[in-house]
Chain A
């Protein structure tokens, strides 16, 4: 199945925003709609933002009205320090159920659901395997609230998949992400002058670069991956290795017994360690990422390179701090830019490039698919013959056709083209 009309739930999370930026560069996605409770935090070109709370009836109306074929759920909260437990539960369990409910029903247009989950599902225990594969269950039931929520949410997704065998359901279990723009309890931990550790333990840890998280999500949208996939970079490092790469010392300040109490003292000192992180600092965790690699995805960074990137960022951060302004979403401005007839079509989509995309991400999909649009909406459009324009019309997207129709009626005034556009639009309807 080829996804054309997608909805991104959790647009205002880091992942939702980055994914929308990556997808909107590709004209094959006709409609990209993002929903969230708060406005997006990144600059978007053509993604339409709708503020929706977790009401499944509203989401369902959106899905049906826009004939959404792919739902990408990036809302999952995976850090129990950043979000309060009650809010996290609301979001992770009830939110997931609402979104799944909105996708069910015999006449639902949804054909694909991509769900961002977390490796917290596996937990970290003494009797874990060194590398979890997707089919393995955690050896003990979850004990922290966050892990319970994630297990419950994935259970709901699995149930949804069983009930809707025709829908492709992809569950991506991400290990801890690291990246320059990410603020998690882990980056805070690595930002400390020395990397805290539990005395007598040197756990194995595995990370995934933020670019790869977006890459994995995009890979799941572009390809049909049915089932569950671990997403973690190649290579598992020991914590001492990580500290080495960061150019820091390993500080075994936490005692092996009574770790929780000592973590409480540390919290007073300003360094928070979530219960999940404490388990991880004791037992560590590794994921087997070969299933996703077998599906064709190639990670851009290994775990080691991910840590080195973080180190580069840590060096640069004090110099760059405050130099870039945070993006603020202005509803009216975005509305004007997207829908006002006064905005020239050329500037509507192509005028601004997303500024906060890494070099590899910018235009990740538009090298071969963009040709048609560039010819028609480019500067030399007026020089084209009416027949030539009519010939390329079927390859255009709906919104481009509508733009072109407005342009043709108001400026060029070539009747055959307007009539041809009307015919195509009528057929699509």
Chain B
């Protein structure tokens, strides 16, 4: 232990209350895991193997508007969500890592369910998954100034059937907008085409869902007959990721105190963002000549 850290017990109270940000625990260079459970080592391994393969070879990701992702400060990325075991989150994170001038880490919000399910509970935090609790999102955005990716559709997006592809589901109760306002960070809408075809769902088996305790039990081209790994056997659809211009929220925060309590304002903004992404998705799909070649 560094001798400097041992301080007198009689430390006087600070004159001005420090910003909560200044009181965050210092990063310990010896650690390879952060306080959220994100493991540099495990993530690096995944990045060099699976992510590289899927990003460059399998999905051949094409990225537009990467400059819309801010280089500093917190930002909330909002994207459409699809696929039985959704590949979109990791591909968006990989796109920012590969294409952005500052390859920033992205935290993915995931359902609370995964924290209680063996296996997922261990793996998801290691690759940057964080439970979608408003307090978690606030700490990441406001205090730690990180990039956070949310899927407001949640499981409604991932469990939807192939015939409903590219039709955005309800955007929850707009909690993501409230979180961004509270943290005074911009919202960056993201439209992603390809994930619907990469892991299409043709049907659900409610009985097996109940037996396994999973969120849903889908039938995909390779699952369940391909075994658990069948969930990872994506079809080689062409991915296109478009980052849209950021929507600032800080002047809204200046309008009155606590605009995030204004449900009307929050819902309106949530609808606007949903409409923007939906419009962009339809535009991208209409210009696409082939599902596989783009």
Contacts and interface: CB of A to CB of B under 8 A. Distances in A.
Interface in A191-214: 198-202, 204
Contacts of B276: none
Contacts of A283: 115-116
Interface in A298-316: 298, 300-302, 304-305
A293 interface: yes
A202 B7 contact: no
A316 B39 CA distance: 31
Interface stretch (B97-105, B127-135, B154-162, B220-228): B127-135
A294 B14 contact: yes
A263 to B, nearest CB: 16
Interface stretch (A129-137, A320-328, A341-349): A129-137
A298 B135 contact: no
Interface in A260-318: 282-283, 286, 288-290, 293-298, 300-302, 304-305
A398 interface: no
Nearest to B38: A238
Contacts of A201: 118, 121-122
Q: Classify the interface of chain A: helix, strand, loop or mixed.
A: loop
Given A238-B37, A286-B35, A304-B30, A295 B13 contact: yes
A354 interface: no
Contacts, number: 113
Interface in B85-142: 112-113, 115-119, 121-122, 125-126, 130-131, 133, 135-136, 139
Interface of B: 1, 5-14, 17-18, 20, 23-26, 28, 30-31, 33, 35-37, 39, 112-113, 115-119, 121-122, 125-126, 130-131, 133, 135-136, 139
19 contacts: A127-B133, A128-B115, A129-B131, A129-B133, A131-B139, A202-B126, A204-B35, A222-B10, A237-B31, A237-B33, A238-B37, A241-B31, A256-B118, A282-B121, A294-B20, A296-B12, A298-B11, A360-B6, A364-B9
Interface of A: 126-131, 133, 136, 198-202, 204, 215, 218-219, 222-223, 234-238, 241, 256, 282-283, 286, 288-290, 293-298, 300-302, 304-305, 360, 364-365
Given A202-B37, A296-B12, A301-B1, 9 more contacts: A131-B135, A131-B136, A136-B135, A198-B118, A215-B9, A235-B25, A296-B11, A298-B7, A304-B31
Closest 5 CB pairs of A and B: A200-B118, A234-B25, A256-B118, A126-B116, A129-B135
